[in-house]
């Protein structure tokens, strides 16, 4: 495999809650007035990413992994890409929803579970996030609220700001409110159970499934603290499903795949990736896969902010 940083064609999806913010802010090419998601790197069946640059342009991610598992992922037995990378425009609130953990997803959907995290790329003054419980409640009371359609009254509400991270473990009840552009990192899964949909009646709810997969325990805070040191590795989270590091580049940083791929998701500014055989640009709204076997590379820029992710 000829090693180079790989860009993919975004998989653009209209959603009832989408808008036009990603066209303006992230340069996504769409005429839609309801653009909700841009799947940047996906190995979800039916929506597998296609390479947009270089020697392998036009080939899909799944085929590349099967041909070059060690070189691309770092594991000789790799058969799929373990994470799904997206940008979202929540123009109006998403449904209040929940995702199953690995065990329940396998049992109920023959799928992976869905633990995820959000980085707030932009937020209006009125933006909100609904995530977790306001306080401790009896499980039976919450189940009754699911059935009665008033579960929103039990949710903790955050006022998100640009640059914040939120971690959403599988089983956590949640919804993005309106007025948000979000970078989302998650397991390779598209399993979502809707509990409440703000009076929208044209989409199915999944109350029995939601009751089964919800984690009813109270957690104090889902927002993540992290460092912002310049030209350094700023760890954000290391979960069993993915690890995320925040890069605040004002000059340059030397990086190394260390035998496993890197995903670079640009959330502010623009810069350059310099690798042994050349260089490639990266800018806000772009996501680039650095193959495991590429090894050492350098990220350069002024006021460049990047999420470096691997699993």
Binding residues: 99, 116, 174
* Residues of the binding site for Zn(2+): 99, 116, 174
The span from the CA of 310 to the CA of 289, in Å, is 10
Which position has the token pair 């989302």? 184
Angstrom distances, CA of residue 304 to CA of 17, 232, 270, 292: 29, 12, 6, 23
Q: Show the tokens assigned to 175.
A: 């919804």
Query: What dihedral angle (degrees, nearest 10) is formed by the CA atoms of 283, 241, 181, 266?
Result: -10
Other beta carbons within 10 angstroms of residue 141's beta carbon come to 10
The span from the CA of 235 to the CA of 256, in Å, is 15
The span from the CA of 178 to the CA of 276, in Å, is 43
Selecting among 24, 62, 194, 200, the annotated active-site residue is 194
Q: Is 194 labeled as catalytic in the residue annotation?
A: yes
Non-local (6+) Cβ contacts of 66 within 8 A are 79
Other beta carbons within 10 angstroms of residue 38's beta carbon come to 22
Query: For the sheet containing 165-168, what is the strand order?
Result: 11-19, 35-41, 83-90, 180-187, 116-123, 165-168, 223-224
**DSSP SS3 for 157:** strand
Give which of 200, 230, 214, 216 is closest to 95, Cα–Cα: 200
Q: Show the tokens assigned to 287.
A: 């996501």
Q: Is 87 exposed, middle or buried (0-12, 13-18, 19+ CB in 10 A)?
A: buried
| Catalytic annotation, residues | 194
């Amino acid at each position: 495999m000829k090693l180079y940083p790989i860009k993919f064609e975004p998989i653009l999806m209209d959603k009832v809650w989408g808008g036009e913010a990603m066209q303006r802010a992230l340069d996504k090419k769409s005429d839609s007035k309801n653009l909700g998601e841009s799947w940047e790197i996906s190995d979800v069946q039916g929506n597998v990413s296609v390479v947009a640059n270089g020697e392998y342009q036009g080939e899909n991610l799944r085929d590349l992994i099967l041909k070059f598992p060690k070189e691309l992922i770092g594991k000789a037995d790799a058969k799929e890409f373990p994470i799904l990378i997206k940008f979202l425009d929540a123009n109006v609130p998403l449904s209040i929803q929940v995702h199953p953990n690995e065990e329940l997803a396998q049992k109920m959907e023959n799928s992976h579970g869905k633990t995820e995290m959000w980085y707030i790329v932009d937020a209006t003054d009125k933006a909100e996030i609904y995530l977790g419980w306001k306080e401790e409640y009896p499980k039976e009371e919450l189940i009754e609220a699911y059935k009665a359609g008033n579960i929103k009254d039990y949710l903790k509400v955050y006022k998100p700001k640009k640059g914040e991270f939120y971690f959403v473990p599988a089983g956590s009840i949640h919804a993005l409110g309106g007025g948000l552009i979000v970078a989302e990192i998650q397991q390779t899964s598209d399993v979502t159970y809707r509990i409440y949909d703000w009076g929208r009646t044209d989409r199915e709810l999944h109350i029995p499934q939601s009751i089964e997969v919800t984690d009813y325990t109270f957690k104090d805070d889902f927002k993540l603290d992290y460092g912002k040191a310049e030209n350094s590795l700023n760890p954000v989270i290391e979960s069993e499903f993915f690890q995320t590091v925040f890069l605040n580049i004002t000059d340059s940083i030397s990086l190394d795949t260390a035998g496993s791929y890197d995903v670079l998701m640009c959330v502010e500014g623009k810069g350059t990736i310099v690798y042994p055989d050349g260089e490639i640009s990266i800018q806000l709204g772009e996501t680039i896969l650095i193959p495991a076997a590429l090894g050492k590379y350098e990220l350069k820029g002024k006021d460049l902010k990047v999420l470096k992710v691997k699993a």
